[in-house]
Structure 1
Amino acid sequence: MSRRLIVEVAGVIEAPVERVWPEIVRAIPRTELGEHVLAYQGGWWYRGEWSVTPDHGGTRLVHRVYNVAGHHWAVALANRLFIGFRERTRRSFAEGLTHIGTRLGCATRLA
């Protein structure tokens, strides 16, 4: 599968991976599930991947969005040249990060 990274965002949840991972699995629809990595394939071009790793004082959550259609120009045109896409992705990720922190009763921060 050909894929091209469109955007990457990351944050830290101040709880151990063992507490964070089940929340991620529960919250994010998925088409693939691995050890501390899950992916969602959506539409004709989109692949979102989320991963967790231990971080100082908690868990680092990374979200990556890939173009898997192969023709970057067609995907860019279909998505209005991705104008504002990075900011919308970061804002949505921050909201999800805060929600998980609230559920776990711990602090979060964007990286």
Structure 2
Amino acid sequence: MSRQLITEVAGVLDAPVERVWPEIVRAIPRTELGEHVLAYQGGWWYRGEWSVTPVPEGTRLVHRVYNVGGNYWLVALANRLFIGFRERTRQSFAEGLAQIGNRLGCATRLA
């Protein structure tokens, strides 16, 4: 599968991976699940991947969006040249990060 990174956003939760990972698995629909990595394949071009890793402050959560539809310009045109896409992805990620932090009772911040 050919894939091209479109955008990436990350955040930190002040809780250990052992507490964060089950919340991520519950919160995000998925088509693939690995050890501390999950992916969602959506439509003809979109692949979202989420991963968690331990950091001194707790857990780092990373979300990456890939183009798996092939020709970048075809995908870009179908998505209005991705205008505003990164900002919407970052905003959505920040909201989800805060919700998970609220459920866990821990602080969160965008990286």
- TM-score tier after normalising by the smaller chain length: over 0.9
Instruction: Report percent identity of matched pairs.
Output: 86
**1:57-102 superposed Cα distances (whole Å, 9 cap, x missing partner):** 2000000000001111110000000000000000000000000000
**1:19-78 superposed Cα distances (whole Å, 9 cap, x missing partner):** 000000000000000000000000000000000000112000000000001111110000
Q: Does 1:55 align with 2:52?
A: no
Give the alignment's Cα RMSD to 1 decimal: 0.3
**Residue aligning to 2:13:** 13
| TM-score, length of structure 2 as denominator length | 0.99
Query: Separation in 1 of the partners of 2:32 and 2:103?
Result: 24
What are structure 2's unaligned runs of at least 5 residues? Answer: none
| TM-score, length of structure 1 as denominator length | 0.99
Runs of 4+ that moved beyond 6 A: none
Query: Separation in 2 of the partners of 1:33 and 1:11?
Result: 20
What are structure 1's unaligned runs of at least 5 residues? Answer: none
**Residue aligning to 1:66:** 66
